Amino acid sequence: MIPAAFEYHRPSDIAGALSVLTEYGDDARVIAGGHSLIPMMKLRMADVPHLIDLQDIADLKGMTIEGGIITIGAMTTQHTLITDEALFAACPIIREASLQIADPQVRYMGTIGGNVANGDPGNDMPGLMQCVDATFVLVGPDGTRTVKARDFYEGAYMTEREDEEILTQITFAATDAGYAYEKQKRKIGDYATAACAALITKAAGKVTSASIAMTNLSDVPVWSQAAGAALVGTPCDEAAIKAAVAAALEDIDPTEDNRGPVAFKMHVAGIIISRAIARAWSRA
């Protein structure tokens, strides 16, 4: 498979990348790990006359954890998210979810920035970032702005990011909440039939806060406020979990595809959400 010809750019800073983006407009795209974009270019489903490789931009790399705030550079790979002990201590759900993405080779290359910015409803990071209430930093010709992960997704491959902007960083708070990332997939490397991220805090045997987000069950990731609200104040017993699952299922809109019909996906989603809540509670 041979992609269409393109011109390759490898800027060493964000300003250099922005100037190529501004000059070529729709004809230019940035490439991070490339494991979504290159397959599409090989199939000639993505036409990219100007490819901007971000690998040399130091400002997009690295991770800091200061004052309870985690800041991750967009080019940080899933492999690093898995192996970084400080990140695991500050927010363990990130490792648990990252281990369930694709396969080892893909995780060495796949980046958190590419995963969240691409807008693929099958990607795991967008739902996860909504669960942890992350903020995305976008840099464009007019400067820097931030968008909450919960406000970022508009439709499949459609996001709040403007064409000439680059997603540079992701920030979210460290948490000691009970956590779980549950994912049902047909085989390793597949996207989720249904996946759910859950964070639950507990005091005196009752849920004090709960954040529930789902992957690949709509054309955007879905953070279900109602599912979280159904758990707060309860002892997270069977009745409470049932109510939360019912609320979450109200918020999703899966479509039929090669992973199954809608009824099957609703069934799988219910089980996955219920398992995620139960396991997060057991760790709270």
Q: Are 195 and 124 in contact (CB under 8 A)?
A: yes
If binding is defined by CB under 8 A, does position 271 make contact with other proteins? Answer: no
Which range in 77-85, 151-159, 194-202, 222-230 contacts other proteins by CB under 8 A?
A: 77-85
Which range in 58-66, 68-76, 105-113, 171-179 contacts other proteins by CB under 8 A?
A: 105-113
We find the least distance from the C-beta atom of residue 39 to other proteins, in angstroms, to be 6
Query: Which are the contacts of 225, defined by CB distance < 8 A and separation ≥ 6?
Result: none
The beta strand positions in 67-134, using DSSP E, are 69-73
We find the least distance from the C-beta atom of residue 162 to other proteins, in angstroms, to be 25
Pairing state between β 135-140 and 166-173: antiparallel
User: How many Å apart are CA 21 and CA 141, to the nearest integer?
Assistant: 9
If binding is defined by CB under 8 A, does position 6 make contact with other proteins? Answer: yes
Tokens of 221: 């990731």
If binding is defined by CB under 8 A, does position 38 make contact with other proteins? Answer: yes
User: How many Å apart are CA 92 and CA 38, to the nearest integer?
Assistant: 30
User: How many Å apart are CA 283 and CA 77, to the nearest integer?
Assistant: 27
If binding is defined by CB under 8 A, does position 189 make contact with other proteins? Answer: yes
We find the least distance from the C-beta atom of residue 82 to other proteins, in angstroms, to be 4
If binding is defined by CB under 8 A, does position 282 make contact with other proteins? Answer: no
How many C-beta neighbours within 10 Å does residue 238 have? Answer: 9
Among 100, 171, 201, 209, binds other proteins (CB under 8 A): 100
**Contacting positions for other proteins (CB under 8 A):** 1-8, 10, 31, 34-35, 38-39, 41-42, 51, 53, 55, 79, 82-83, 85, 95, 99-100, 102-106, 108-109, 187-189
